Structure 1
Amino acid sequence: MTLDYPWTSNGDTEVFPITLLAELTMRAASNAIREKPNWWIKIKDPLIVTNWRQELLLESRTREVRFHLSEEQIDYVFNELDWFARKRQEQVDDAGVEVPIDVGVEGTRRADGLIPEALKKRLLEGVEKLMDKPDHLKDWHPGSNNQVLDLVHPSLFPFVTGRTRVTEQEAIPPLEFIAAGKTQDATPTSESTLHFSQRFYSDDHQWLPTDFDVTSERKVKAKSYINNLHPVEHKEMYPVLEEILERFLPMFEEVLSEIQEFWHKPRVLKATNDRYGPDPEFAEDHWSDSDDDDEDEDEDENEEGDGDGGAKPVKTPKESKKPKYIDSDEYYRTRLPLPIPIPDFTPREDLPRYNLKTFTTPLQVIVKLANIELTPENPSYYGGTWHVEGMANENI
């Protein structure tokens, strides 16, 4: 499917409107409430809401952050939470299933209780079989301190230009015939004509997705081999992953719908040039007469005489000098940020939602399975780094 979500010309380009730290703090506060069990029920209790408000204020005041939550910001957060709770109930009434939760990070959703216990049990049984291999064949993720064991990973056997062989048929063969058919050597990719930095694009490697069909009954069926998951040895894993993807369809649709809003979605708080209040009274004690002192010294060293060892020309003082704050860190510490105007909460406009069963093209999914293993020697895992998956040629 084609989405209006292009790669930028370089890594520093700002694509979307800037989000202020104050707004990110509000999002984090809202998500903290939505992580509480049955928050959509408890938010109807005024006493509980009062306690939650005090928790957010106290946490905001004790954390070392540049912006602390104000009463007006917390008012906005809880007005939005009331709206989230109403929308959630409407969706549950319509669909009768668990609703994806907006976690305050664009293009990201989570859902509690999405996978039933019986399906989870089948998944774990398949994972146990994947883990049943000698230690020297285990693929520990680089930099994970032997805590993250990659079971199915697209980088293990990706497409390699000039080496990977491809089938001549245009149609994807059924799983039971995946090893059959005449093959030919893949031709190297020609020189890229893309208009962005080459660090976003690989001419050598590419992850291999799996095509999944979505039926009109919202059933999901794999059309091709899942890379690094043998279709015979691990045949039982295929229907398990298909059922899990069925459960993920509402989250996929939410994210795809939100992506289309990125270009037009306004920020709650608007960035302005007037970010700080007036200088403190003692500020004049920290200004120097010029920011050209170092430059003058450099010019003195670089100026030469007439070549016979004569005296250097006498320099006249510059007519105008720019003031310079001696300690810029202190300057910004002592200037208070101006209060940011907090608008009244306005419910978001209901936009057309994606429905994956109406798409004529299959879903392309890159499957990953990993197990986090803790031991007495390595008892804690602190997670990985936030990152974007894949490169431009994978177009995830």
Structure 2
Amino acid sequence: MTDPCLCNDGHASLKVPGFSDVPLDLEIYPQNRFTHGATEWAQWPNLTARELAMLGLMNDLTEEHGWHKNIFDDNLMVDWRMHALSRPLISPKAWDWCLAELQDKALYFEQTGNIVVFNTGAGIVKSDAVAEMIQTELRDAAKLLEADEKAPRQQVVLNLVDPSLFPLVYGRTRVLMDSGRVSLDSTINSFGRGAIVLDIPPGYFRPRRNVRRYPSWSEEVTPRATNSDDERWSARSQWLPCEVDFINNSGTDVRITSYVNNLHPIRSRALYGTIEKLISQSIEPWNQILIKQNRGHTPIRIRTYGVEPDNERPKWATWDNLRKLESDRSNTAFKEAVDEIKEYLALPEKLEGREGDQISPTWETENGGLSKALYTKWKRLRTWRHPEPGTAFSFDDWKAGRAGKTIIDRKIDDPDFNTCHNF
């Protein structure tokens, strides 16, 4: 599917969302761009609570100084294991998996200085690869910006380059609509050029019944009801991104070709070069986590579509057996069953004040009362067994992308169920 023809090169009329009859909410088709999390990407299948705990543990351990070397120290791992098992939902099997995965991550970290954490479909890259020189340049530039900042010093967060300060405002901001561009070198001389943009961007209001995520440009413009998708767009203002070009046909070196909003192009010119270096170093990590459509980089570690109870009902307390005992309440077997059920009903419940069905005070004499009382208590005692990693597939299978097997199958077929991921 072909994307609409947009233009922002300065050689022809500006055609970008919100200008020149291009609807504000127009998006490039998903197969031609990276997926965003606003309305498209969602983790599926959902992660289990245990896998979330494993992800949190691995993230915390990679914050330890020298973790990538310590993870291969068997003696030190005895202590790490003890502390890990004290965390909620970290079982011995979960620890074994985390240890194996962290050792793999450590080898990659040694080569690149990067590590991907919270990696399921998407992920987060943490890096120690930013050169000390760049870090120093950033700190020095931040000090200069702080000196110019007029905000109260007690402010907890200081937005030194705030994108919401002096954004593009519809009906007030001048824009080069016909042609031309504001380069980094001509920023100051461009003041006053261009035409004031419309008060309301084109295509902002659409009939609710015709709303499409990727609308055509010919839809009738009429008011529509507010919905969650509309909240991503503003008819009042837009942040202003800067333009960045690759310097060469290969490699990751880039150059900022327009001004960064609220960052002075002359006084802070040195900082522009530092930002370019940061962007260049970020491209390869971005490649590790940005995804297209539903093609995630990493399969989930525990795949299940159901849970199992952690405790079973007493084997002797079958429905048929209890009904048979109730047919003659005078015999010894009935009285023994009542005594056993009373002991069962007296068991402490893990969740105090748990809501649910109440046990009838006359359950001993009611028809079917034995089984009803027993079942009600079992439901109140019932907890769910958290599934373990390594049950449906091994760590090595997971690494190879062979992670389609489930602990408990789903009842409805999923066309993406057996999608094979590799990383």
Could you say whether these structures have the same fold, taking a TM-score greater than 0.5 normalized by the shorter chain as the test?
yes
Counterpart of 1:111, as a letter, is: S
Matched, 1:70 2:91: yes
Residue deviations 1:254-307 (CA, integer Å, cap 9, x gap): 1215886339834524240535534693289984379xxxxxxxxxxxxxxxxx
Distance 1:124 1:87 in 2: 28
CA 1:237–1:37: 2 relative to 1, 3 Å: same
Q: What displacement does 1:51 show?
A: 2.1
Q: What displacement does 1:38 show?
A: 2.7
2:322 corresponding residue in structure 1: none
Distance 1:157 1:324 in 2: 68
The 8 Å contact of residues 301 and 389 in structure 2, kept in 1 or not, is answered as no
1:117 corresponding residue in structure 2: 132
Q: What displacement does 1:16 show?
A: 2.9
Higher relative contact order (CA 8 A, sep 6+): 1
Task: Summarize the alignment of residues 102-181 of structure 1 with structure 2, pairs less than 5 Å apart.
Answer: 102-104=117-119, 106-112=122-128, 114-133=129-148, 137-138=150-151, 146-178=155-187, 179-180=189-190
TM-score normalised by the chain length of structure 1:
0.63
Gaps of 5+ in 1: 291-322, 351-396
Counterpart of 2:181, as a letter, is: I
CA 1:43–1:273: 2 relative to 1, 3 Å: closer
1:211 corresponding residue in structure 2: 243
Q: What displacement does 1:49 show?
A: 2.0
The 8 Å contact of residues 28 and 104 in structure 1, kept in 2 or not, is answered as no
Runs of 4+ in structure 1 deviating by more than 6 angstroms, as ranges, are 283-286
The 8 Å contact of residues 45 and 303 in structure 2, kept in 1 or not, is answered as no
Q: What displacement does 1:119 show?
A: 2.3
Q: What displacement does 1:227 show?
A: 0.7
1:261 corresponding residue in structure 2: 295
2:55 corresponding residue in structure 1: 27
Gaps of 5+ in 2: 1-31, 213-226, 315-343, 350-355, 361-371, 402-423
Task: Summarize the alignment of residues 5-24 of structure 1 with structure 2, pairs less than 5 Å apart.
Answer: 5=36, 7-8=38-39, 16-24=44-52
Matched, 1:85 2:136: no
The 8 Å contact of residues 175 and 194 in structure 2, kept in 1 or not, is answered as yes
Correspondence for 1:183 among 175, 190, 194: 194
CA 1:263–1:253: 2 relative to 1, 3 Å: closer
SS at 1:56 equivalent: helix
Q: Which moved more, 1:33-42 or 1:68-77?
A: 33-42
Correspondence for 2:257 among 201, 209, 223: 223
Distance 1:258 1:27 in 2: 23
Distance 1:156 1:149 in 2: 13
The 8 Å contact of residues 162 and 262 in structure 2, kept in 1 or not, is answered as yes
Q: What displacement does 1:171 show?
A: 4.8
CA 1:173–1:191: 2 relative to 1, 3 Å: closer
The 8 Å contact of residues 175 and 196 in structure 2, kept in 1 or not, is answered as yes
The 8 Å contact of residues 163 and 185 in structure 1, kept in 2 or not, is answered as yes
SS at 1:177 equivalent: coil
TM-score normalised by the chain length of structure 2:
0.59
Correspondence for 1:233 among 267, 270, 275: 267
The 8 Å contact of residues 245 and 256 in structure 2, kept in 1 or not, is answered as yes
Q: What displacement does 1:175 show?
A: 1.2
The 8 Å contact of residues 35 and 290 in structure 2, kept in 1 or not, is answered as no
CA 1:38–1:259: 2 relative to 1, 3 Å: farther
Correspondence for 1:52 among 73, 80, 86: 80
Distance 2:43 2:115 in 1: 26
1:3 corresponding residue in structure 2: 34
1:39 corresponding residue in structure 2: 67
Distance 2:279 2:384 in 1: 46
Distance 1:83 1:41 in 2: 12
CA 1:271–1:22: 2 relative to 1, 3 Å: farther
Distance 1:223 1:118 in 2: 23
Task: State the aligned residue count.
Answer: 292
Correspondence for 2:231 among 169, 193, 199: 199
Distance 1:263 1:218 in 2: 21
2:358 corresponding residue in structure 1: 288
The 8 Å contact of residues 108 and 255 in structure 1, kept in 2 or not, is answered as yes
2:324 corresponding residue in structure 1: none
2:328 corresponding residue in structure 1: none
SS at 2:158 equivalent: strand
The 8 Å contact of residues 25 and 69 in structure 1, kept in 2 or not, is answered as yes
Task: Summarize the alignment of residues 304-343 of structure 1 with structure 2, pairs less than 5 Å apart.
Answer: 334-343=381-390
Q: What is the RMSD of the two structures over their aligned residues, measured on CA atoms?
A: 3.6
Q: What displacement does 1:104 show?
A: 4.8
